[in-house]
Structure 1
Amino acid sequence: MAKITLYEHANYEGMAANLTSECEFIGNYGFNDIVSSIKVESGNWIVFEDANYEGKSYNLAPGDYSQWQAWGGTNDTISSVRPREAIVLYENVNFEGRSVKLNTACEFLGNFGFNDTVSSIKVNSGNWTVFEDANFTGRSSSLKPGSYPNWQAWGGSNDTMSSVRLCPSITLYEDANFQGKRVELDSECNFLGNLGFNDIVSSIVVHSGNWTVFGDANYAGHSCNLKPGNYSTWEAWGGINDTMSSVKPN
């Protein structure tokens, strides 16, 4: 389930509103044009400056946004919000028939009446793995953002999908506050020097999955476990500046 918390003041202070579904006018919660910080606990969300999902918009991945600059917006200008359907599953080929929209992992599509009925898929954001059996088991296929009009497009079989989840994803930045050079990873790396990134990481965004970062190569040395979120400085993940040499998803 997608979940977002809006706060009246910076640094998660003041009144708060918890949402798990779209809201075309947050004034209904007494929150119109007063949002100054946000926590996205799950799912990917779009926040809009005007009601009815209009005006300037911002895409927010899971993480903490302690002030409006963190999402690139303007203070006290949010009027509507909605979760972004990261993946849409369709009953029939060519995106026809019933559909289910997901922002987070689903261990059994039968909970949505969709077990073994998927024939086409749209991936709007993130990299996803789809599985033929429940609980993320059985034959799997990895899908990048794009449209898959039939099961041949993702290399699977028709009507044999039972669970789906986001692939792990992390972005490492050279400087604090997500500045400077960056490298994006969706799998383990036993030596960041191979990417020109040894001992220079100062900020991190974990887009999906849980990751462990290590002070030494080959997953050795001081380690820290990171959940999805934004880590603007090394203090945020409890590490030491410029001392990271390997990373891997848990």
Structure 2
Amino acid sequence: MTGQLVGLVRTPLNITYILSVSSHREHTGTDRYCFIFADPLKMATDHQNPASKQQQPGASAFKLVIYEQENFQGHCQELTAACNNLQEAGVEKVGSILVLCGPWVGYEQPECKGEQYVFEKGEYPRWDSWTNSRRSDTIAAFRPVKVDSQEHKIVLYENPSFAGKKIEIIDDDVPSFHAHGYQEKVSSVRVQSGTWVGYQYPGYRGYQYLFEKGEYKDSAEFGAQIPQIQSVRRIRDMQWHQRGAFHPIN
């Protein structure tokens, strides 16, 4: 299967949708084409565009397209479910990614191990658009991330087993713990609701750590080599805009 970027559609609201076309040859010798819009809502509402009728919305709650080369060029592969080893699925290299329905998390190593990369709906034309840790440009596995709550609450603790100083965050994104009087050491985490991503450095930079509902008794359980998190944000449906608050607690 091959794919290439063939156009941009810009709406009166100045929102850009990417149109991609992919093709593969059937056993009968004929070519089959599939048109993909970056926004499923566009496909459902734009009845005047014949291409938008090629794919019905809601077919899958999760969908992304992996391109072998940067800027959505070269061989492409569509995923709608977890893939623990991309090479075994025929993906030799990840050069760019188009997330149609998400979110997703990618992993540096097969079997969902190593550095994590969180992807929400949108376009990622090259590797430095999904990470700035600079350690690796490799993605070897993907899995979808379920977001099933409009409410978000997370508590981060200084020491393992939920001990020491803590910071409680409710329905808010925090770009810098230091700006609010909390140090950088985070050794355990309780996620009471929602789905979150923590970052090694302020401003949502450095290694990423996905936090789903549950308990993480030490930093190894959320994939960190050192217990350091300095910013955190919610993974959420973009239609939710709740005003939140966070509370440093001694």
TM-score between both structures, scaled by the size of structure 1: 0.38
If each structure's helix is expressed as a fraction of its own residues, which one has the higher value?
1
Report the TM-score when normalising by structure 2.
0.38
